[in-house]
Amino acid sequence: LELRSNHVYDMICENHTRVTEFILLGFTNNPEMQVPLFILFLVIYTVTLLGNFLIITVTSVDPALQTPVYFFLRNLSLLEVCFTLVMVPKMLVDLVSPRKTISFVGCGIQMYFFFFFGSSECFLLSMMAYDRFVAIGNPLRYSVVMNRSLCLWMAVGSWMSGVPVSMLQTAWLMALPFLLKLVTQDTTMYEMQALASTLLFIMFPFSLILVSYTRIIITILRMSSASGRQKAFSTCSSHLIVVSLFYGTASLTYLRPKSNQSPESKKLVSLSYTVITPMLNPIIYSLRNNEVKGAVKRTVSRKVLQKLDVF
């Protein structure tokens, strides 16, 4: 969303200005850079799709990965695919298109799904943090506490949490007077409402994550064995890195003072959480998780053997 400019294409009708579409400035006005950027982002997007679909596939078909942690990981990868689908294809089209615009309705639809998948991911990450707390804090009762029914309801709740957030945020933002320089209406209330709701729906799941990891750290520090502490930390290190990336970029976007945000820096931050982070998540879980790497090898080997049997 930060890639949109405040310049608009408008139509005058009955002495009122009605916004019909937005002009997208993009990353650069240099035509020579647009094709290389298109190729770069297309490669990143392809890697993102392949990596996340690989995670979805191996956690679905491999018998060793039919556990709650990989059930949530599968949902996370699906969310990442949907999230990038909202933003990246349009960005790729605009890089090679002479007319870089988006309709008012199209902008509203894009914002709705942007907030929906973004807020759903916030809550899903908090559910994954709770799962890691149960696994480390109460390993003997892990399978009883994190039963199939509870995991399903936690996943459904995470996905559904995006509905009120996206509806509220989209309604507020689409009601904004976009031609701020041409109107006298005070937009302070709009900005405060948007900031308050953003902080509420970002900080609430983050607080759950913080509580879970505080108790995880306390549990790990109480362990007498150094190898036990190392093993316990390794079970949640991948999730902790993903959470840091997600909330780090979100904090740079929403919590940094406006006076410190240049258009270029806003574009880079937006690029990080819309393009880069979804690509890194499956890489992080694959490289730092021996079970996932083993499942990938088994899945690939099984496919190769099936093809050999055909011939």
In a domain, 73, yes or no: yes
Give the per-residue pLDDT at 177: 59
In a domain, 115, yes or no: yes
8 A C-beta contact, residue 120 and residue 156? no
Give the per-residue pLDDT at 110: 87
Give the per-residue pLDDT at 79: 93
* Closest alpha carbon to 278 in 24, 138, 81, 145: 81
Q: Which residue has the higher pLDDT, 177 or 114?
A: 114
pLDDT in tens, 42-71: 999 999 999 999 899 888 888 888 899 899
3-class SS letters over 226-257 = HHHHHHHHHHHHHHHHHHHHHHHHHHHHHCCC
- Whether the per-residue pLDDT at 157 is higher than 80: the answer is yes
List C-alpha distances in Å: 176 to 170, 220, 305. 10, 48, 58
**Exposed (0-12), middle (13-18) or buried (19+): which is 4, by Cβ within 10 Å?**
middle
Name the 3-class secondary structure at 27: coil
**What is the rounded average pLDDT of the residues 244-269?**
69
Q: Which residue has the higher pLDDT, 105 or 309?
A: 105
8 A C-beta contact, residue 274 and residue 90? no
Most confident of 10-14, 123-127, 222-226, 295-299: 123-127
Phi and psi dihedrals of 267, rounded to 5?
A: -65, -40
Give the per-residue pLDDT at 262: 63
Give the DSSP letter of residue 2. T
* Closest alpha carbon to 127 in 63, 209, 70: 209
Total domain count, the chain = 1
Token pair 């879980």: residue: 285
Determine the Cα–Cα distance for residues 307 and 301; give it in Å rounded to an integer. 10
- Whether the per-residue pLDDT at 127 is higher than 90: the answer is yes
8 A C-beta contact, residue 46 and residue 78? no
In a domain, 132, yes or no: yes
8 A C-beta contact, residue 112 and residue 166? yes
User: What sign does the CA torsion over 116, 238, 249, 34 have?
Assistant: negative
Name the 3-class secondary structure at 30: coil
Name the β-bridge partners of 17. 12
- Whether the per-residue pLDDT at 149 is higher than 90: the answer is yes
Give the per-residue pLDDT at 291: 77
* Closest alpha carbon to 125 in 279, 39, 259, 239: 239
Give the per-residue pLDDT at 53: 92
CATH number, residue 239: 1.20.1070.10
pLDDT grade for 9, boundaries at 50, 70 and 90: very low
Per the prediction, the chain carries an average pLDDT of: 78
**What is the rounded average pLDDT of the residues 281-293?**
77
**What is the rounded average pLDDT of the residues 238-247?**
85
Q: What ranges make up the beta strands (E) of the chain?
A: 4-13, 16-24, 101-103
Q: Which residue has the higher pLDDT, 211 or 303?
A: 211
> Which of 34-43, 95-104, 177-186, 268-277 bottoms out in mean pLDDT, i.e. has the lowest?
177-186
pLDDT grade for 287, boundaries at 50, 70 and 90: low
In a domain, 9, yes or no: no
- Whether the per-residue pLDDT at 186 is higher than 60: the answer is no
Name the β-bridge partners of 8. 22
**What is the rounded average pLDDT of the residues 22-42?**
77
Give the per-residue pLDDT at 183: 44
In a domain, 311, yes or no: no
List C-alpha distances in Å: 50 to 5, 40, 63, 184, 246. 31, 16, 21, 49, 20
- Whether the per-residue pLDDT at 151 is higher than 80: the answer is yes
| Residue range(s) defining the domain that contains residue 253 | 21-304
In a domain, 13, yes or no: no
The residues, any chain, with a CB within 8 Å of residue 121's CB and separated by 6 or more, are 76, 79, 80, 83, 246
pLDDT grade for 16, boundaries at 50, 70 and 90: very low
> Which of 1-5, 117-121, 186-190, 262-266 bottoms out in mean pLDDT, i.e. has the lowest?
1-5
In a domain, 8, yes or no: no
In a domain, 285, yes or no: yes
pLDDT grade for 36, boundaries at 50, 70 and 90: confident
> Which of 57-66, 173-182, 280-289 bottoms out in mean pLDDT, i.e. has the lowest?
173-182
Name the 3-class secondary structure at 10: strand
Name the β-bridge partners of 11. 18
- Number of Cβ within 10 Å of residue 195's Cβ equals 12
pLDDT grade for 90, boundaries at 50, 70 and 90: confident
